[in-house]
Amino acid sequence: MDTRSYKTISANKATVKKEWLLIDAEGQVLGRLASKIAKLIRGKHKPYFTPHVDCGDHVVVINADKIKMTGNKLTDKKYYWHTQYPGGLKSIKAGDLLAKHPERVLELAVKRMLPKNRLGRQLFKNLHVYAGTEHKHEAQQPKKFDINSFK
């Protein structure tokens, strides 16, 4: 007798197994790294991915100051924001932002790849980016993750 089950598994907070992953961003290209991190945070690499549940892992990224940008992005790419005052449109070049706050460049890239809703804001809290090699998540024992072998 065949006892196969074809029931669709829908994950919830109780059934999701979250891990802590450590990624070294040294020498990685910004956009490609950000898309892989967004996939990990969202949980799309897991077999029980459910779109409306936080299935993803916590991702700790180190060496964000050693990230690469291809082409002329360091001088041409600009990040814009508005102060909510008349004439308050501000901008900063990617190279200047990388020099001042290197972790923000990667954070912005990943945040803009996540859903624009409550779930996206919740998922973004699972990203922890640090400019140097030191991080404060040793207690969680993050596993070293080879981002180059991940698709």
pLDDT of the residue at 44: 96
The residue to which tokens 């945070």 are assigned = 41
DSSP of 107-127? HHHHHTTS-SSHHHHHHHTTE
Q: How far is CA 37 from the centre of its chain?
A: 4
Per-residue pLDDT of the chain in tens (151 residues, 90 and over written 9): 567 778 888 899 999 999 999 999 999 999 999 999 999 999 999 999 999 999 999 999 999 999 999 999 999 999 999 999 999 999 999 999 999 999 999 999 999 999 999 999 999 999 999 999 999 999 999 999 999 998 8
Do 75 and 93 meet the contact criterion of CB atoms below 8 Å apart?
yes
Averaged pLDDT of the chain: 95
Q: Who contacts 96 (Cβ-Cβ below 8 Å, separation ≥6)?
A: none
> Which residues on neighbouring strands pair with residue 24, listed in sequence order?
62
Distance (Å, whole) CA 134 – CA 138: 10
List the one residue out of 31, 22, 40 whose CA is nearest residue 151: 40
Burial label for 84, CB within 10 Å (0-12, 13-18, 19+), is exposed
Domains of the chain: 20-70+106-135 (3.90.1180.10)
pLDDT digits (tens, 9 = 90+) for 40-67: 999 999 999 999 999 999 999 999 999 9
